[in-house]
Amino acid sequence: MPTTPATAAQSGFPGAGTPEAIMLELVDEAGNTIGTAEKLSAHQAPGLLHRAFSVFLFDEQGRLLLQRRALGKYHSPGVWSNTCCGHPYPGESPFAAAARRTHEELGLSPSLLAEAGTVRYNHPDPASGLVEQEYNHLFVGLAQAAPKPDPEEVGDTAFVTAGELAKRHAEVPFSAWFMTVLDAARPAIRELTGDVAGW
């Protein structure tokens, strides 16, 4: 259920031993903040529209860093997805959240991280029954160090060319939102990587 900022701190996360709820920022169709909701409840069908971010990092050869989500994740475990994605804390800027989570999940501090627009989507996850109703802020940048993933968050990583991604995407499961965010970020990706990379 949606809560107000005043009551957000009082609400407990479902599950034993978790001291504080993880709250997300609810938004309207224009991306304006309208309240907060607990993370899991925001993803239960039909879903509440909330702020999110997606990061795409590339190496100096123009290869995209993918991550395979850890098997312990409650949402879309074990599937491949973009470099990093997540949700800002209420009041946290999407840029700050993107940099923070990329470091937390992958041990990387992105270089030349730049905004790449926004995209709004509604993607149900058939496996879990959860729904991604997101107003997603996109970011592109460079990974200039080897990733050091947190195994609780990331099961595996891979740098792929555009051609290798197409082959992998046809053969193994990817997150429901992956192609939507990738396609929305392509203009900024091409600007970063150049035409020769094929994105």
- 174: tokens are 């990817």
Quick count: other Cβ atoms within 10 Å of Cβ 36? 25
134 is catalytic: yes
For 29, which DSSP code?
Answer: T
Of 25, 84, 85, 132, which is the active-site residue?
85
- Tell me phi and psi for residue 34, to 5 degrees: -125, 0
d(CA 141, CA 95): 12
Q: E strands, the chain, where?
A: 2-3, 23-27, 33-38, 50-58, 64-69, 80-81, 84-86, 111-124, 131-142, 154-160
Of 134, 152, 171, 191, which is the active-site residue?
134
Torsion of CA 84, 136, 26, 93, to 10 degrees: 70
d(CA 129, CA 150): 26
d(CA 92, CA 2): 18
Residues with active-site annotation: 85, 134
